Amino acid sequence: MASKKETATDNAVEQKLKNLYQLQTKLSEIDKIKTLRGELPLEVQDLEDEIEGLTHRLHKYEEEIERLKADIEKKHTDIDEAQAMMNRYQQQLDDVRNNREYDNLTKEIEFQGLEIELLKKKIGEAERLINAKTNDLERGRGVLEERRKDLDLKKSELDEIVSETKAEEEKLREKSKVLEAAIEPRLLTAFKRIRKSSRNGLGIVYVQRDACGGCFNKIPPQRQLDIRMRKKVIVCEYCGRIMIDPELAGVKIEKPVEEKPKRRTTRRKKTEEED
Ligand SMILES: [Zn+2]
C-alpha cells in the first residue's frame, strides 16, 4: 500500500470524489434546513385555510340568526293583524242578522285563532333555532380565537426559522456553487440525477460496515478494495450511488471492536494485585 504510485489520474479521481463528497455535505445541510422549515409553511397554510373556512361558517350563522330574528318579528306583526281581525269579527258577531253570517264569522274567528296558534308555534321553533345557532356561533368563535393564536405562534416560529437559516442557507448555496464549478459536468449531472432519485438525497456515500451507506446492501470485498484504491469512480451495484472511501471522505469510522465490559466484582478486586 505504501508503494502505491500516485499518478495524475489517481489524483484526479480522488479529487473528484472529494469535491463531490464536500458538495454532498453542503447539499445535505441545505436539505436539513428545508426539512426544518418544511412542515411549518404547510401548518401555517392549513391553519389559514381552517380560519378562512371557520370565519365563513360563522358569518353564515350570523346571517341565519338575523334572518330568524326578522322572521320572528314578521310573525309577531302577523299575530297582531290576526288578533285585530279576530277582534273585529268578534264585534261583528253582535250585529249578525242570520245564522249563515254567524257561521261565517265564527269560522273566521276560529281560523284566525288557529293562525295565531300556528304563528306562535313557529316563533317558538325559530327561537329554539336561534338558541342553537347562537351556541354554535359562540363555540365557533372560541375555536376561531384558538386557531388565530395557533397561527400567530406558528407564523412567528416560521419567521424566526427563516430569518435564522436564511443567511446560512445562502452561504451553503454559495459554497455549493463553487464546488459544483470544480466538478466535471458529466459527473455532476450523474450525481444530481442519483440524488434526485434517492429519498434521502444522497448521491455519494461511503462504505459503512462493509455495506453501501445509502442502501445498506453488502459490498463484495473486491469492490471495497477498488473503492479504497480511488482509481476510478465506483457506484453501488444496487442503488447506483457513487461510493467513496470513508477515509477520503474524512469520516472516522470506529472499528466495531467488541469491548468486553469490565467485570469488577469484589472478589476479583481482592485477589488482584494493584498496579
Ligand atoms: Zn447502494
pLDDT tens per residue across span 244-257: 999 998 887 665 55
Determine the length of the chain.
275
Residues 6+ apart with CB under 8 A from 200: 214
Buried/exposed code over 122-160 (b: 16+ C-beta within 10 A; e: otherwise):
ebeebeeebeebeeebeeeeeebeebeebbeebbeebee
- Give percent of the chain above pLDDT 90: 71
pLDDT at 3: 42
- Report helix, strand or coil for 265: coil
166-189 pLDDT, tens digit per residue, is 889 999 999 999 999 989 899 999
CA 243 – ligand 1 centroid, Å: 8
Give the cell for residue 54.
371557520
CA 185 – ligand 1 centroid, Å: 23
Q: How far is CA 157 from CA 29, 49, 150, 216, in A?
A: 20, 18, 10, 36
CA 54 – ligand 1 centroid, Å: 49
Which residues are in the CB-under-5-Å shell of ion ligand 1?
212, 214-215, 236, 238-239
Model confidence band, residue 263 (pLDDT cutoffs 50, 70, 90): low
CA 5 – ligand 1 centroid, Å: 29
Give the cell for residue 236.
453501488
User: Average pLDDT for residues 153-170, to the nearest whole number?
Assistant: 89
Q: How far is CA 33 from the centre of its chain?
A: 16
DSSP one-letter code for 260: P
77-112 pLDDT, tens digit per residue, is 999 999 999 999 999 999 889 999 999 999 999 999
11-30 pLDDT, tens digit per residue, is 788 999 999 999 999 999 99
User: Average pLDDT for residues 139-163, to the nearest whole number?
Assistant: 93
Residue 133 has pLDDT above 70, yes or no: yes
Q: Which pTM does this prediction carry?
A: 0.53
